[in-house]
Amino acid sequence: MSRWTKERVEEALTGPLSRRTFLKGMAAAGAMAVLPCGLLAPEAAGATESYGGGYTVFRNACPRNCYDTCAIKTYVQDGVAKFVEGAPESTFTRGGLCVKGNSYIRSTYSPDRIKYPMEQQGRGTGKWKRLTWDEAMDKIARKILAIKEQDGSLLGLGLTKYSGNFGITNYGVEGMMSSLGYTTRFVGTPCWPAGIDAQNFDMGSMWCNDPEDMVKSRYIIVWGANPAWCSVHSMKYLYAAREAGAKIVVIDPVFTQTAAKGDEYWQVATGTDGALALGMCRHILDREMYDKDWVAANSLGFEEFADYLRSNVTVDWAAKLSGLPAERIVAVAEEFAAARPATVWIGYGLQRHVNGGATVRAIDALVAMTGNIGKEGGGARYGHLQTWGFNYHAMVQKPPEGAVGFVGASGPKGEFDFAGGDKTVKHTDRAVNINKTAQEILDARNPPIRMLWASCKNVLSQDFDRPKMIEAFGKLEMVVVVDHFFNQTVEQADIVLPVTTCLEEWTVNVSYWHYWLALNEQAVKPLHEARSNIEIAAALSRRINELAPGSCTFPTEIDTREWMEAEFNKGIYDLFGLKSWEELRDGPVKAKLASSAAWHDRKFATPSKKYEFKSELCAKNGHEALPAYKEGRKAYDKLRLLTPHSKFSLHSQFQNLDWMEEFNPAPVVYIHPRTAEARGIRHGDAVRVFNKVGEEKLRAVLTANVPPDALLLYEAWFNGRKFNCQNLVDDTSADMGAFKTGAPGVAIHDQFADVARA
């Protein structure tokens, strides 16, 4: 005799044939006449099948601050995203994602997501009350109006936003601020500004070759970058180049995964990369191996640069500073100069120093004097914004009639400031340095910064000098944080708002490295009560205009798909050979490039229209006109402290997921065995890392992969742990960045500390 079983019921509920019989049986029993209850409702007649539908494929893009900006295919069944894969149509993404991108299902459906708007009764108390969206918007709107009433302007409202989500419509956060009036903006970038300025002085803009053309390189120096972790899709081009005979040299203070893949590895003394580059330049000059024709035709100031090298630089000097053998410097310099083409991948790590901009200029000079700029397979590769010419429809919003702002120096800018400055406007936002967020909050007067809105930004994890930040937060009257997960910034928030993940919103994405354009569709309906940044802006506008008509120009009702569409323009369509954005539903497309080489026509964007070894603009901005060596920061403690990116996170994102915790459960500090021995520290010991900023307690891992004079701990926050590398990093500025991004960079890797058994 056969009985019902668990499996049989499940089969009856879900099997396409058995279900029909089962439902018929249920109907006969009168179950369909069940009274409507409290929460569930009678299913609408003809309701769509609830189970076992086919897959629908949606297009997404990874919007993180990552070189690769992968195009994603998301497979959705029954309204649930089941799995993701890299889009095969992109030759760059080529069907694969990294460990982070592969976790998007995991993050979207994590039980840990922030689900509802909530309000904390006292920052850091953990006493949270749930709010409806209306209640949350009401509280925020009233606070904004009170600030306007009190100060006569909205400069007391500060916005900090950076790279948590680079989807173009997310610039609507800036748009929301503009639509309220003139506010205080944390401007600049903690990421790459010194290098941006350096390349602007040398070439007139930051523009890199298509990374896919690295296959044509005959010599590749990966300098201060770790693509094996941070740009996994680029590695295949390095390998292909090597297959074709190229040599790969990796220069890094840390023996990274990329270093392990190179043909030659140089463990450079941290912060001396500029000397190393100049030493190579000097040798190439002495051997007359530089590209005389290129230099004569395309550059300005080479003779002065050569004079500088002859009188200030020797290979021995470079060897002494960098800690590398002179013979290898000479050999690699000769190989690099002889290879046609040769290229340098200039990483962001090496410019996070007080001499970072000068370092990038020195490396640029090495690539330029060997005639490798403007060549396919060559180039001083740093990044580009060539494909970012969107409308910034969400971002560009008008202030309300009569808005009062900051009168003085020009308003904020940033590397993604495409709006341009309108010189006729008297009032502006008040621009303050994002890399000194804590200090700026402490220092702001007339009016003080009373309220902080943080979106796409984990302030307490990514901004410098945490002890000072906590002090600064003490001055803020209201903190609003828009995020996915409960991190250390949410912990310090008054109001938290749940935001959509990339699978839940419409937007469009491009890369600052490759040349592909990808659509990001709403693959699934937002979970819980999450809303996209522009929907939040619309909701705020609705409420604040109810309370005080005319106080916000942001539309109060928006269709997020239409807003995505509104970012496209003829320039984008032409660049990518598109007639309509809808074509992106068939997959990402690549820009139609005249050449894969940046500066292929050698028409530089500098004042002289040449490559400027000598840049008066650079001098005018307070630096040396020549790419001269600049001293690093003087050590303020016994060991150097490095806090680079981990494999399991992108800045503060991803590490909190259980999949990452499985492999990387707790923060550790990496110490060279000799350094550890001198302090009686063994592998696995609990230790204290400390300096003038603060201290961190964590476990020691001994490895000769880090130099003896350095400690290394990865950035990012761990769920439920107090760990925060910003307890050990101060906010000292890098040399460059203010020219193009509005604020100098920050010397993240010019930090020092000591370690002891805890």
Partner 1 sequence: MSHPDAALAALRDFFAAGSGAELERACARLATAGCVPPPEADEDLEYDFNRLFVGPGRLAAPPYASVYLETEPRLMGETTLLVRAVYHALGLASPRQSALPDDHLSLELDAALALRAAAGEADGPEMAALRRYFLAEHLGRWLPAFAARVREASPHPAVACAVSRLLDWLDHELSAVPEYGEYGRDERQRRCV
Which spans of this chain sit near ligand SF4 (rule: CB under 6 A)? 62, 64, 66, 68-70, 97-98, 100-101, 232-233, 650
74 beta partners: 58, 84
A 10 A CB-CB count for 156 gives 26
- Residue 230 CB, shortest distance to ligand SF4, in Å, is 8
**Residue labelled with tokens 């909701």:** 539
Among 476, 483, 479, CA closest to 493:
479
- Residue 742 CB, shortest distance to ligand SF4, in Å, is 26
Containing H/E element for 173? Answer: helix 172-180
- Residue 256 CB, shortest distance to partner 1, in Å, is 30
> Distance between CA 212 and CA 233 in Å, rounded?
10
29/409 with CB nearer partner 1: 29
259/490 with CB nearer partner 1: 490
Amino acid present at 576: F
Q: Is the dihedral of CA 613, 616, 618, 619 positive or negative?
A: positive
- Residue 508 CB, shortest distance to partner 1, in Å, is 23
DSSP 194-248: HHHHHHHHHHSS-----GGGGGG-SEEEEES--HHHH-GGGHHHHHHHHHTT-EE
**Residue labelled with tokens 């201060």:** 224
589/650 with CB nearer ligand SF4: 650
- Residue 67 CB, shortest distance to ligand SF4, in Å, is 7
> Distance between CA 90 and CA 574 in Å, rounded?
19
Tokens of 392: 């910034």
Tokens of 669: 């500090």
- The site partner of 51 among ligand SF4, partner 1, none (C-beta below 5 to 8 Å per kind) is partner 1
Rg (CA), the chain: 27
- Residue 564 CB, shortest distance to ligand SF4, in Å, is 19
89/364 with CB nearer ligand SF4: 89
What interhelical angle do 356-369 and 273-286 show, nearest 10?
20
- The site partner of 30 among ligand SF4, partner 1, none (C-beta below 5 to 8 Å per kind) is partner 1
28/409 with CB nearer partner 1: 28
- The site partner of 346 among ligand SF4, partner 1, none (C-beta below 5 to 8 Å per kind) is none
Residues in contact with 243: Cβ distance below 8 Å, sequence separation at least 6, in sequence order: none
- Residue 455 CB, shortest distance to partner 1, in Å, is 15
Residues in contact with 735: Cβ distance below 8 Å, sequence separation at least 6, in sequence order: 194, 353, 354, 355, 356, 357, 358, 623, 630, 744, 745
146/527 with CB nearer partner 1: 527
92/201 with CB nearer ligand SF4: 92
- The site partner of 583 among ligand SF4, partner 1, none (C-beta below 5 to 8 Å per kind) is none
- The site partner of 100 among ligand SF4, partner 1, none (C-beta below 5 to 8 Å per kind) is ligand SF4
Q: Which residues bind partner 1 (CB under 8 A)?
A: 1-6, 8-10, 12-14, 19, 21-23, 25-26, 28-35, 37-44, 47, 50-51, 78-80, 106, 109-116, 118, 121, 126-130, 132, 486, 490, 496, 498, 524-529, 658, 719-720
92/406 with CB nearer ligand SF4: 92
Tokens of 639: 């060991």
- The site partner of 62 among ligand SF4, partner 1, none (C-beta below 5 to 8 Å per kind) is ligand SF4
> N- to C-terminal Cα distance for the chain?
68
- The site partner of 441 among ligand SF4, partner 1, none (C-beta below 5 to 8 Å per kind) is none
- The site partner of 42 among partner 1, ligand SF4, none (C-beta below 5 to 8 Å per kind) is partner 1
- The site partner of 111 among ligand SF4, partner 1, none (C-beta below 5 to 8 Å per kind) is partner 1
Provide the 3-class DSSP secondary structure of residue 478. strand
- Residue 533 CB, shortest distance to partner 1, in Å, is 17
- Residue 463 CB, shortest distance to partner 1, in Å, is 20
Among 618, 613, 622, 590, CA closest to 515:
590
* Phi and psi torsions of 51, nearest 5°: -150, 140
- The site partner of 28 among ligand SF4, partner 1, none (C-beta below 5 to 8 Å per kind) is partner 1
Query: Cβ distance 176 to 541 under 8 Å?
Result: yes
- The site partner of 35 among partner 1, ligand SF4, none (C-beta below 5 to 8 Å per kind) is partner 1
- Residue 61 CB, shortest distance to partner 1, in Å, is 21
104/576 with CB nearer ligand SF4: 104
Amino acid present at 27: A
| DSSP-derived secondary structure letter, 52 | -
- Residue 566 CB, shortest distance to ligand SF4, in Å, is 25
| DSSP-derived secondary structure letter, 438 | H
